Structure 1
């Protein structure tokens, strides 16, 4: 099952997505708000995990391609967080795009489609998003898709005093409920 917008297709991952995703994980600009870059093995493990989740439940962090060219540009989607955070269980929305596709509205467009799926198909009550407080571009996308800041928290997997430890938490409630 694919989700289509005017310019994008959110879909299951394909083998041809692997190399561009590996390159994204090695790009220090793409990964600057994450604790580490991803090496090839870590990127392939991520793809295997999210592919399996989509196969099992029908949704997850979908690969995103440009309709016009079929080119892989990153991922956008939904991910269940059962216990990692004090606000768990929850479903988060997340995204990561290759640098060449930033500031063109793609993250916002794809995230709006993922939210529509979350609320209309999955009938979720709410969706959350979080990122390092330093990540103002991602926070701007959260605001553009109608999310509201509800808290700040220290990420449990990052050590105290780590520059990325402080995170912002956003949420949006299902407008159909």
Structure 2
């Protein structure tokens, strides 16, 4: 499949990663507030490795986590996109939607706007039947984004994240889902 290299929303450009994105991305991933629902902040090297994995996902599957750029300023603000879930669970195989934005861009609707654009790509361009999202039980901000793009909580699918040790406070995760019919209903509604 030819990779989908770029998407646009009203205020954002979802684009391929550039080498110069690393500095801002590493700063974002080192911020303890941004990373509070992840096991730990990332070093610059870990952030670079994550960009490498994202690029590899694009090369293999034609989609992934796009770098986010504000159209008005050209500023890099984070990432949003779709990727194959990288662990085994009752709901896998599946494609998940995810996002991570620099703190100074929180509260402006960018996460929801970029996530909606990614969902549109998943259903209209990639022909996906369903997209999932999940986060730590305590991450209410991300759950609010999931709800704002029409995803529905699936309490029966809530799970313990297998990549975190038993007893870790972030291990309990909530699962959200949206299928093509639900997404189409949000377009009409």
Give the shorter-chain TM-score range. Answer: over 0.9
TM-score by length of 2: 0.90
Cα offset for 1:86? 2.3
User: RMSD of the alignment, in Å?
Assistant: 1.3
Q: Residue 127 of structure 2 aligns with which residue?
A: 123
Q: Residue 164 of structure 2 aligns with which residue?
A: 158
Q: Residue 173 of structure 1 aligns with which residue?
A: 179
Cα offset for 1:83? 4.4
Would the aligned equivalents of 2:13 and 2:68 in 1 still touch at CA under 8 Å?
yes
Q: Residue 109 of structure 1 aligns with which residue?
A: 113
> Which structure shows the bigger proportion of residues in strand conformation?
1
Q: Residue 93 of structure 1 aligns with which residue?
A: 97
Question: Which of 24, 37, 52 is residue 28 of structure 2 equivalent to?
Answer: 24
Unaligned runs of 5+ in 2: none
Task: List structure 1 runs of 4+ shifted beyond 4 angstroms.
Answer: none
Cα offset for 1:58? 2.3
Deviations 1:75-115 (A, max 9, x none): 00000126432211000000000000001000000000000
C-alpha separation in 1, matches of 2:141 and 2:62: 29
Deviations 1:38-78 (A, max 9, x none): 01111000001101222333210010000111110000000
C-alpha separation in 2, matches of 1:130 and 1:154: 11
C-alpha separation in 2, matches of 1:51 and 1:72: 17
C-alpha separation in 2, matches of 1:80 and 1:53: 8
SS state at 2:42 partner: coil
Unaligned runs of 5+ in 1: none
Deviations 1:112-149 (A, max 9, x none): 00000000011111000000001000000000000001
Q: Residue 55 of structure 1 aligns with which residue?
A: 59
SS state at 1:115 partner: helix
C-alpha separation in 1, matches of 2:96 and 2:116: 13
